[in-house]
Amino acid sequence: MTSKMLVRALTAVGLIGLLSTAAAAPGESGWRQPWGLNLPEGVTSLSRLSYDLHMLVFYIVCVIAAIVFIGIFYSMWKFRKSAGAKPAHFHHNTTVEVIWTVIPFLILLGISIPATQTMIKMEDTTDYEMTVKVTGYQWMWEYEYLDEDISFFSRMDPDSQLARQRNPEISPREVEHYLLDVDNPLVVPIDKKIRFLLTANDVIHSWWVPELGWKKDTIPGFINEAWARIEEPGVYRGQCAELCGRDHAFMPVVVIALEQEEYEDWVAEQNGEAAAVGDEPAEADIDDVAEEELEDMSEDELMTLGEQVYNSQCLACHRAEGEGMAGFPALDGNEMVTGDVSAVNDVIINGVSGTAMQAFGGRLDDREIAAVVTYIRNAWGNDAGDLVQPSEVRDAR
Amino acid sequence: MSLAQGTYYVPHESRWPVFGIPGIALLMAGFSVYLNGGGWGFPIMILGAVITLIMTVMWFRDVVHESVAGKYNEQVDMSFRQGMAWFIFSEVMFFGAFFGALFYARVLSIPWLGGDDAATSQFLWDSVLLSWPTAGPGMLDVDFTAMGAWALPTINTLILLTSGATLTWAHHAMKENHRKQVIIGLALTVLLGATFSSIQAYEYVYAWEELSLRMDTGIYGSLFYMLTGFHGVHVIIGALTLFVILIRVIKGHFTADDHFGFEAAAWYWHFVDVVWLGLFVFVYVI
Amino acid sequence: MSSATDTAHHGHDHHHAPPYGITRWLFTTNHKDLGVLYMSFGLLMFFIGGAMAMIIRAELFQPGLNLVDPYFFNQMTTMHALVMIFGAVMPALTGLANWLVPVQIGAPDMALPRVNNWAFWLLPAGFVLLLATLFMPGGAPASGWTMYPPLVLMLGDSFPFLIFAVHILGISSIMGSINIAVTILNMRAPGMTLMKMPLFVWTWLITAFLMIAVMPVLAGAVTMLLTDQYFGTSFFNAAGGGDPVMFQHIFWFFGHPEVYILILPAFGIVSAILPTFARKPLFGYSSMVYATASIAFLSFIVWAHHMFTVGLPLAGQLFFMYATMLVAVPTGVKIFNWMATMWRGSMTFETPMLFSIAFVLLFTVGGLSGVMLALAPVDLQYHDTYFVVAHFHYVLVTGTIFAIMAAVYYWLPKWTGHMYDEKLGKIHFWVSVISVNVLFFPQHFLGLAGMPRRIPDYALQFAEFNMISSIGGFVFGFAQLLFVWIIIKCVRGGEKVTDQVWEGAQGLEWTLPSPAPYHTFETPPVVK
Ligand code: HEA
Ligand code: HEA
Ligand code: CUA
Ligand SMILES: [Cu+2]
C-alpha cells in the first residue's frame, strides 16, 4: 500500500467522524427520531445550561482533535521516507513543552468556570414549590405527591410488555413508543420548581428524563434530591439508567407536564378516583370501600381483567405463557397455583419475603387480585375450573 | 543496586506453584459450594487447603535449602527484600480498604442516616438520631454494647508493643551474634503473640456473649470484627512465621550479616503492630 | 545505549536449550516462556471475551428480544468486561513485560522466577472458577463488572465464585507486579540508570506500583460483599448503618487506577515504536516519564467521576471534576510528544507503525470524550449511556488493544526469528481500523440520543445506529481471526530476520540474536 493511499484513507475516516459529529451539533432536531445524534436541549433551565456546556466542550474538543489529526496526517505526508525525508535529531525543547502543558491547562480552567456554575445551580434544591417522591422497584416506579394525597405505581405499558418477549405476539415496530411508555405517567405542572426525592426499595436504579437535564440514582436507604422547573407542556420520556437486574431495560419513565389548571383538574380527578375503586388505591382506601361494592364478577369479567393485570404486573417474571424462567417459577402446570386458593391469594397479597415476588396487596385491589388469581388458575394449560371472587380476597387480606 | 552479577540464581524449574494451584482452586470452589449450601463442598475445601498448605511448606523448604546452600548472592537477597517490602505495602492497602470503610461510615453514612441528611432521615428512618457506635437506623431493636478500650484492648496493645521491643532486641542480638539472646528474644515475641491471640479469642467470646456484639449487629459490629479479625489472622500468621524463624535460628541458619528470613518476618511483625495501633485508636478509643 | 558484551552463550553449567514437553511449560521459570504463556492466555481470553461481545452485538442488531434472555444478556456484558480486563488485557501486558523488561534492562531473568510461575498459573485457576459459573443453574454473574450491591447480592450460586475468582486474579496481579517492580529496581545492567530505561520499562514500573496499591483494595471491597452476603455484616446496607454507595467509592478507588493500569504500558509500547519508524529519538523522554508519574498520581484522586449521579455533596462533585480534568494535561503532553517525535522524522508505515499511529489518533478521540465526561453537570446526562461505552472502547480497544497488536507485530520477529506477513498485517490493520470505528463511533450518537447502557433491547429510534455498530463489530471480530493466523504463520516459518530487525530500532533487545536465545544477559551487558 502506498503512503498516498494511506493518508487518503486515514483522512477519510477522520473526516467522516468529525463531519458527522458536527452535523449533529446544531439544534435538537434529531432528538427522539431515528438517526438522532445529540443531546436534547430539554425543557428546563438546567437542561439548557448543561446542553450549552456540552456544546461548548464539544466544540473545544473538536478543535483539539482537529489539531492532533491534522498535525499527524501532515507529518505522515510530509516526512515520509518514500518522499526522501531525512530524519532530524532533536529530541527535546523546553519551550514548546511548557507551551503545550500550559495551554491545555488554561483551556481546562476556562471550561471549569461554567461547569462549576452549572453544578452549583443543579444542587440548589431550596425554594421548591412542590415535592414528588420517586421510589425505584424491580422493575417499576412509585410516585408519591407529598403535597397531595396521591401516590401510584408506574410500569411499562402492556403493549411494550407483549412486544418485548421473545417471539412476541406483536412486533416492537408496531408499538408506538416501544419501551418508552407507561401505564401511569407522572403528571406535573409547568413553571413550578419541583423537588424530587429519590430512593429505592430493592436495588439501585436511576431516574432519568433527558429533557429535564439530569439523571439521579435512587439508592435504597437513602434519599437523593434533585429539582426541575419544566417550562413547556409536553410528554417527556426516559428510562431507568442503572443496571437493576433482569428487566433493567424495561422500566421507562414518562413525565407529562401540564398547564397549572389542567394539572389541578388531574389532581382532582385522582382524588375522586382513589375514593372509588381506582387503579391505585392507597392502603387506607381499601378498607373504606363498602362491602356491597364487591359484587361477584362473571367468568368473562374475571378472565379479561385477569389477563390485563397479568400482562401488566406478572408477565415480566412469570412470562407470557406462565412458563417462568430460571429463578422465577412457572405458573403454568404449577400444582401450587391450581391447588389451595387461599395459599395462592396469600402469595399474591403478601408476596414471598426475601424473593422478587413482591406483595401485591397494596398495589392491586380486591377485584384485580381475584381476577388475576382466577386467570392464572385457568389460563394456559391450567384448569382449576373455579372462579375466585373479590369477596374471598377481601376475607383473605 | 543495579549491579547484576553473573551468578544471579534462577531456579530452572518450579514444581510447587503448579502443584499448589489446583489446591487453591479446590479450596475456593469448595468454599463457594459450601456457602451455597452444598455440604459436599466442605471436604473439597479441606482438601484444597491441605494441598495449598503442603505447597507453602514445601516451597519455603526449597527456599531455605537454597539459602543455606549459599545459592543466593547479595542481589538475590535484595530482590527478596524489595519483594517483601512491596508485599507489605499491598497488605497496608488491603487494610486501607477497611479503614476507609470505617471512616466513611463514621464521617458520612451514619450522620446522613441519623439526622444530617434531612430527607433521608425524615422519610426513611423516622428521624432517629444516630451516634457512634450504632447498629444502624433499621436495627434499633438490636441491643449491644461497644467494646471498651481500657481493659483487654489496652492490655493487648501493651503486649504487642512489648513484642515489638523484644523482637528488636533479638534483631540487635542477631547482628552482634549473641545467639542465646536471639533465641530468648524471639521466643518471647512468639509467646507474646500467642498471648495476644488468646486474649483476643477471649475478647471475642466476651463480646459475642456478654456484650451481644456480633457481625450482624449493624455497621459497628461489622467493622469491629472485620478489622480486628483480619488483624488477628495476621498476628497468627506473623507469630507462626516467627516461630519457624526461631527454629531456623536454633538450627543455625542465620549469621550476623545474612539473616534476611529473620528480617522479613520482623518487618511483617512490625507492620502488624502498626496496624494494631491504628485499630486501637480508631476502633476502640475514638 | 549499546551493549558491550556478546550476550548469547556463555560456558556456565546451565542447560541452554529449553527442556521439552509439557512440563517445560508447567514448571518453567524462564521469563520468555512465561511471557509466551501470559500472552497466549491473553489471546485466548480475548477471543472468549470477544465471543461474548459478539453475542451482545447480535442481540442489539435490531430492536426486540431476538436471541437471548435479558438475564443472560446481563451475564454477557458482565463476563465480557471481566474477561477482557482481567483475562485479556492485563495478562497480555504482563506477558509483554515478562518477555521484554529483562531484555530491555539487561537482566538474566525476572527477579523472582518462581513467583513468576505461580502468578501466571493463578490465572487459569481464577478463570476456571469464573467461567464455570456460565454452566451453573443460575448462570454467570450478571451484575455488571462493577459488582454494585445490592444487585450483586442477588446473584445466587455464582456469587461466591465471582468473589473468589476476583481474589485469585488479584493475588496473581499483585505477585506479577511485585516481580516486575523488583526486577526493574534491582536487576538493571550496570550503567542502566533509571533515566536511561526504555519508556516501556518506566511505564511498567509505574503500572506495577498502581497494581500493588489498588488490587488489595478491590480484594477488600469484594470481601465485604462476601461477608454482607453470608455473615450478616452491614457494610452496604443502610438499615445497618452502611451505604451501598460506599462500595462504589471503594470499588472505584481501585477501578480508576485500574484503567490507567490498562493504558500506561500501552503508552510505553507506542513510545518504543514511533521513534523506530520515524527514525528519530523519542521527543521529550524525561517529560514523558514525569507525565506518566503524574497520571498515576492523579489516578488516585479522581475515582468519584464514575459516581457523579449517586448524590455526592457539591464540594465532592467539584473536587472530582477538577481533578479529573487535570489528567488531560499530562496525557496531552504525551500526545504532543509523540507528534513531535514524528515531526521531521523519516517515516515508513509498517504494520506496527500503522497500529501505533492509529493508537495516538483514536486514543485522543477516547480521551477527549473522557474530558467531556469529566464535567460533572453534563455527566448527569452522559452517565450510563452508550456515550460512556463509546468512550471506554476508544481508549481500551483502539487504545490498549491496538497498542498490544502493535507490540506483537513489532517484537514478533525478535521472538520467532521470522518476519510476519507484512501484506496480511496491513490488511488486518485496515480492516480493523475501519471496522472498529464503524463499531464504536455511532455509539457516541446513541448515547447522546438517550440510549442507556446494559440493556438488551432498545427504543425504536436507536435501531439504525445499533445495526451499523453491530455490523462493524462482526467485521472487527472476523478481522481478529486474521490476526491469529498471521501469528501462527509467523511462528511456523517465514523470512529470516536480522538481529536488528527494524532499521531504526534502539535498545538492548535488538542486540540479541533473532530469535532470542533461551537465556540472555547471563553476564550483564554494560550500558553506556
Ligand atoms: C484505558 C482505559 C481508560 C482511560 C485511559 C480513560 C481515560 C479517561 N477517562 Fe475513562 N473510563 C474507562 C476507561 C478509561 N478512561 C472505563 C472502562 C470507563 C467506564 C467504566 C464503567 O462504568 O464500566 C470510563 C469512564 C469514565 C468516566 C465516567 C463516566 C460515567 O460513567 O459517567 C469518566 C468521567 O469523568 C471518564 C473520564 C476519563 C478521562 C478524563 C480520561 C483521561 O485520562 C483522558 C485524557 C486524554 C485526553 C484528554 C486526550 C489527549 C489530550 C490532549 C490532546 C491535550 C489537550 C486536551 C484538552 C485540553 C482537553 N472515564
Ligand atoms: C479491554 C476491554 C474491552 C475490550 C477489548 C472490549 C471489546 C469489545 N466490546 Fe466491550 N466492554 C468492556 C471492555 C472491553 N470491551 C467493558 C469494561 C464493558 C462494560 C461492561 C459492563 O457494563 O459491566 C464493555 C461493554 C460492552 C458493550 C456494552 C454492553 C452493554 O452495556 O449492554 C458492548 C456493546 O456493544 C461491547 C462491545 C464490544 C465489542 C464489539 C468489542 C470488540 O472489540 C471485540 C472484538 C473481539 C472479538 C470479536 C474476538 C475475536 C473473534 C472471534 C471470537 C471470532 C468469532 C467472530 C465472530 C462470530 C464475528 N462491550
Ligand atoms: Cu431500574 Cu434499571
Ligand atoms: Cu475513571
Q: Residue C167: which pLDDT band, with cuts at 50, 70 and 90?
A: very high
Q: Mark the ranges of chain A whose per-residue pLDDT is less than 50.
A: 1-3, 5-8, 10-12, 15, 18-19, 22-30, 276-292
Residues B115 and B145 in one domain: yes
Q: State whether residue A197 sits within 8 Å of chain B by CB.
A: yes
Task: Say if B138 is an interface residue toward chain A (CB within 8 Å).
Answer: yes
**What whole-number percentage of chain A has pLDDT above 70?**
85
Place of cell 525525508: A85
Q: Which of B57, B72, B87 is the last residue of a domain?
A: B72
Q: Which of residues B72, B89, B108 is at a domain's end? A: B72
Same domain, B22 and B137: no
CA nearest to C273, candidates C92, C403, C100, C413: C403
**pLDDT bracket for residue C3 (50, 70, 90):** very low
Residue scoring higher pLDDT (C47 or B214) = C47
Residue keyed to cell 514525569: C290
Burial class (CB in 10 A: 0-12, 13-18, 19+), C493: exposed
Position B117 pLDDT exceeds 50? yes
Q: Do both B254 and B238 map to the same domain?
A: yes
Q: Which chain B residues in 164-183 lie under 8 Å from chain C, judged by CB atoms?
A: none
pLDDT average, residue stretch C508-514: 90
Q: Kindly report, residue by residue over C364-413, the tens digit of the pLDDT.
A: 999 999 999 999 999 999 999 999 999 999 999 999 999 999 999 999 99
Catalytic annotation present for C470: no
Q: Tell me: do B159 and B138 sit in the same domain.
A: yes
Which stretch, B257-271, C24-38, C244-258, has highest mean pLDDT?
C244-258
pLDDT-above-70 percentage for chain C = 96
Helix, strand or coil, per DSSP, at residue C54? helix
Q: Which of C179, C236, C231, C168 is nearest to C208 (CA)?
A: C179
Shared domain check, B80 and B60: no
- Which pLDDT belongs to residue A231? 93
Out of C3, C207, C271, C364, the active site residue is C271
pLDDT at C504: 86
State the alpha helices, DSSP H only, in B69-178: 74-103, 110-111, 118-119, 152-175
- CATH 1.10.760.10 domain residues, chain A: 295-396
Determine the CATH number of domain A3-123.
1.10.287.90
Ligand 2: centre distance to CA C403 (Å): 17
User: Which of C72, C286, C289, C347 best tests the A interface by mutation, with the highest count of A CBs <10 A?
Assistant: C347
Residue bearing the bigger pLDDT, A110 or B138 = A110
- C232 and B214 within 8 Å at the Cβ level: the answer is yes
Quick: pLDDT tens for C283-339: 999 999 999 999 999 999 999 999 999 999 999 999 999 999 999 999 999 999 999
Is B68 in the same domain as B78?
no
Domain count, chain B: 2
Same domain, B259 and B133: yes
Summarised one tens digit per residue, pLDDT across range A115-160 is 999 999 999 988 899 999 999 998 899 999 998 889 899 999 888 8
* Burial category of C484 from C-beta neighbours within 10 Å (exposed 0-12, middle 13-18, buried 19 and up): middle
Select the residue of A10, A86, A100 nearest C336 (Cβ to Cβ).
Answer: A100
- Average pLDDT in the B256-269 region? 90
CATH no. for residue B24? Answer: 1.10.287.70
Q: Is residue C260 a contact partner of residue B245, using CB atoms and an 8 Å limit?
A: no
Task: List chain B residues with CB under 8 Å of C221.
Answer: 97
CA distance A294 to chain C (A): 39
Closest by Cβ to C347, choosing from A79, A101, A326:
A79
The mean pLDDT of C477-486, rounded to a whole number, is 96
List, for residues C196-229, the tens digit of each pLDDT value: 999 999 999 999 999 999 999 999 999 999 999 9
Look at residues B72, B90, B123 and tell me which one is the last residue of a structural domain: B72
For residue C521, pLDDT beyond 90: no
Pocket test for ligand 2, best of C397, C440, C484 (most atoms within 8 A of CB): C397
- Confidence class of residue B2 from pLDDT cuts 50, 70 and 90? very low
3-state secondary structure of A153: strand
Fold of A295-396: Cytochrome Bc1 Complex; Chain D, domain 2 (1.10.760)
Tens-digit pLDDT profile for residues B183-209 = 999 999 999 999 999 999 999 999 888
Per-residue confidence (pLDDT) for residue A341, from 0 to 100: 86
As annotated, the residues of chain A forming the CATH 2.60.40.420 domain(s) are 130-280
Q: What is the pLDDT of residue B150?
A: 79
Q: Report the mean per-residue pLDDT for chain C.
A: 92
Which letter does DSSP use for residue C519 in this model? Answer: S
- Give all strands (DSSP E) within chain A, no chain letters: 130-137, 140-145, 150-154, 186-189, 194-200, 205-209, 214-218, 224-228, 234-240, 252-258
Catalytic, C57? Answer no
Architecture in CATH for domain A130-280:
Sandwich (2.60)
Contact predicate C147/C65, CB 8 Å: no
Cβ proximity of A194 and A129 under 8 Å = yes
Region of residue B184 (left: phi > 0; alpha: psi -120 to 50; beta: else):
alpha
What are the E-state strand segments in C173-298? none
CATH assignment of the domain containing B234: 1.20.120.80
Nearest CA among C286, B88, C114, C372 for reference residue A61: C372
Is the predicted pLDDT of residue B108 greater than 60, yes or no? yes
Q: What is the pLDDT of residues B225-237, one digit of tens each?
A: 999 999 999 999 9
Query: In terms of residue numbers, what domain contains B275?
Result: 74-285
Q: How confident is the model at residue B6 (pLDDT cuts 50, 70, 90)?
A: low
Protein residue closest via CA to atom 49 of ligand 1: C367
Same domain (yes/no): B185, B59: no
Q: What is the pLDDT of residue A362?
A: 72
From the CA of C142, which ligand is nearest?
A: 2
Confidence band of C12 (pLDDT split at 50, 70, 90): very low
Give burial (CB, 10 Å; 0-12/13-18/19+) of B181: middle
Same domain, B251 and B270: yes
Q: Are C57 and C468 in contact (CB under 8 A)?
A: no
